[in-house]
């Protein structure tokens, strides 16, 4: 699946070069991850466990893009490295007492958005689809006994927003929704659980046209 998405993105880049007005550039920005403070209640052996989302911090992204424009309409694929960190609060109730542990997860993805839009002067309005390819995960949660989490290698979502073009600068503000629930599947003590949250993000991105 990862290979197919990357090949599609590369094909789009070369296909767009064959016609229309085209530009290339780089992008970088910040994102605010919105996750509801829902949680999971589970039994871990003789202990009762509460697994809660405490905080979803700001993420960052950077990469390259290309844009094909014709008659005020444009198509813009990009390839972006994206990193986000989520903090969990894990409360374990057992015979020996109550223990509260704060742990962090960092998720690194390759994002491949494909946006289409219209341009009115310096303003742009856009929408499209995005694929997220999981690169790796750096986690403290693995230290929790009997915990296991299985992530899909690829998930999908959509983006919509507005942009501003000033000289060679490209400023975008997009909202992103995802089609998969956060965390996919969590196993604690051999029992599967899942967060009810479908994650969303607000992305502020600055680009520069070469």
Question: Over the stretch 48-75, which tens digit does the pLDDT of each residue have?
Answer: 777 777 777 788 999 999 999 888 899 9
Question: Over the stretch 21-37, which tens digit does the pLDDT of each residue have?
Answer: 889 999 999 998 776 55
Please give the average per-residue pLDDT across 125-135, as a whole number: 93
Cβ-based neighbour number of residue 14 at 10 Å: 9
The neighbouring-strand residues paired with 126 are 117, 161
Question: Over the stretch 69-91, which tens digit does the pLDDT of each residue have?
Answer: 888 899 999 999 999 887 877 77
Rg (the chain; Cα; Å): 20
Residues 6 or more apart whose Cβ sits within 8 Å of residue 40: 49, 50, 51, 52, 186, 188, 193, 194, 195
Cβ-based neighbour number of residue 66 at 10 Å: 19
Whether the full predicted model's pTM is greater than 0.85, yes or no, is: no
pLDDT of residue 165: 95
- Our CA angle for 80, 84, 89, nearest 5°, is 165
Domains, the chain, ordered by start: 2-209 (2.40.160)
Q: Which two tokens stand for residue 210?
A: 């070469």
CA-to-CA distance for 130 and 148, rounded, in angstroms?
Answer: 27
- Our CA angle for 78, 81, 82, nearest 5°, is 110
Q: How far is CA 16 from the centre of its chain?
A: 25
pLDDT of residue 18: 52
Question: What are the C-alpha distances in Å from 185 to residues 96, 181, 182, 188?
Answer: 29, 9, 9, 10
Q: Is the pLDDT of residue 96 over 80?
A: no
């Amino acid at each position: 699946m990862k290979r197919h998405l990357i090949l599609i993105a590369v094909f789009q880049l070369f296909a767009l070069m064959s016609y229309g007005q085209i530009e290339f550039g780089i992008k970088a920005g910040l994102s605010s991850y919105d996750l509801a403070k829902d949680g999971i209640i589970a039994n871990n052996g003789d202990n009762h466990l509460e697994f809660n989302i405490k905080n979803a911090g700001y993420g960052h992204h950077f990469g390259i893009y290309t844009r094909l424009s014709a008659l005020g309409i444009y198509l813009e694929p990009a390839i972006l490295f994206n990193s986000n960190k989520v903090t969990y609060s894990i409360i374990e109730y057992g015979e020996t007492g109550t223990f509260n542990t704060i742990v962090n997860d960092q998720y690194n993805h390759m994002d491949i958005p494909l946006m289409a839009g219209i341009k009115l002067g310096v303003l742009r309005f856009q929408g499209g689809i995005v694929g997220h390819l999981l690169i790796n995960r750096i986690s403290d949660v693995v230290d929790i006994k009997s915990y296991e989490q299985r992530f899909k290698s690829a998930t999908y979502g959509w983006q919509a927003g507005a942009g501003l073009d000033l000289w060679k600068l490209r400023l975008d503000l997009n909202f992103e929704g995802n089609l998969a629930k956060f965390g996919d599947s969590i196993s604690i003590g051999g029992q599967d659980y899942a967060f009810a949250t479908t994650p969303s993000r607000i992305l502020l991105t600055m680009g520069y046209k070469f």
